[in-house]
Amino acid sequence: MTRVALIGLGTMGPGIAAVLARAGMTVAAFDLSPEQRAKAPQAMKMAAGVLATLGMADRSQAEVAIQEDLATAVKGAGLVIENVPEKLELKLQVLAEIDKLVPKECVIASDTSGIPITKLQAGNSAPGRIVGMHWSNPPHIIPIIEVVAGRETAPATADWMAAFVKRLGLIPIRVKKDVPGFVENRVLYAVMRECCDLVEQGVIDPEGLDACVSWGIGYKLSVVGPMALLDMAGLDIYQSVGSYLNKELCARGDVSPYVTQRTAKGQLGIKSGGGIFSYTPDGIKELQSQRARRLVAVRKALEG
């Protein structure tokens, strides 16, 4: 069994901890915030309930141990997963602290959404053991993990991580170049940029956009991936449509005013009670459990 330390128990941490524990790992977790440490057990319990409905075998040995300091959390770990906010300076600081505490054989993974792993290796005493392990939100439901090697990652570290992801019963996606955003977020952000632009231009309203994407390409792509879709539609069709349409698509390099103006006003989405849509506290709970139920049902259907 691998002893794993998870650093950061915010949005992603509890779901990740629940998956690791259920797969039989000995898990210790740490968050700088006492509030997050206090909230984590309930969130982990909810995630474990979802894992049970997904049919994940329960190989748990022990409860996740939530520690009050980093040194205790990483003690004896064979793998440390850094899962703190997406800020380069903060991640470098946390990785430097971990570097001082663990032996050179300990693999250090980062759940960064898209900071190149090469940047996170800077200054580390053994950069060969640093690797990207990008989970997808919600981490206890979405079955892929991107495995990303930085310039100095030892091939054996990336291979070990891919095998480890399989041991969790998940699908490792080997990203071959350490590009910002890796693969999943590059595709997602290209889609999001176009969606925001269409709504901002008044081509469609947010409800209509979501219905179009979820019931159109979203539904289809979950069964036929984009590359297979090219073959299904015919490359000649893509060639003809792309030749007049590609130049019309949004190509802005900044974030659209549609998002920037809301962010500036504190309209951040579910976490602030409203962003593009509005939410009530009861409505949020219902929405979250409905989404979890639907994602579980779709995953089961796709697993066939």
Contact footprint for ligand NAD (CB under 6 A): 7-13, 30-33, 36, 83-86, 90, 94, 111-113, 135-137
Q: How many CB atoms lie within 10 A of CB 31?
A: 25
CB of 14 to ligand NAD, least distance (A): 9
Is position 113 annotated in a ligand binding site?
yes
Query: Do β-strands 3-7 and 79-82 pair in parallel, antiparallel, or remain unpaired?
Result: parallel
CB of 111 to ligand NAD, least distance (A): 4
3-state secondary structure of 145: strand
CB of 73 to ligand NAD, least distance (A): 9
Residues 6+ apart with CB under 8 A from 231: none
Q: Which residue is closest to ligand NAD by CB? A: 10
Is position 269 annotated in a ligand binding site?
no
CB of 36 to ligand NAD, least distance (A): 4
Q: What secondary structure does DSSP assign to 21-77, as a single string?
A: HHTT-EEEEE-S-HHHHHHHHHHHHHHHHHHHHHT------S--EEESSHHHHHTT-
CB of 239 to ligand NAD, least distance (A): 34
**Between 141 and 196, CB nearer to ligand NAD:** 141
Is position 245 annotated in a ligand binding site?
no
Spatial separation of the C-alpha atoms in residues 53 and 268, rounded to whole Å = 31
Is position 283 annotated in a ligand binding site?
no
Alpha-carbon Rg for the chain in angstroms: 21
Spatial separation of the C-alpha atoms in residues 138 and 140, rounded to whole Å = 6
Spatial separation of the C-alpha atoms in residues 184 and 139, rounded to whole Å = 14
Is position 266 annotated in a ligand binding site?
no
**Between 162 and 230, CB nearer to ligand NAD:** 162
Bond from prior residue into 127 cis (ω within 30 degrees of 0): no
Is position 304 annotated in a ligand binding site?
no
**Between 122 and 204, CB nearer to ligand NAD:** 122
**Between 85 and 218, CB nearer to ligand NAD:** 85
**Between 106 and 141, CB nearer to ligand NAD:** 141
Is position 8 annotated in a ligand binding site?
yes
Binding residues: 8-13, 31, 86, 91, 113, 137, 271
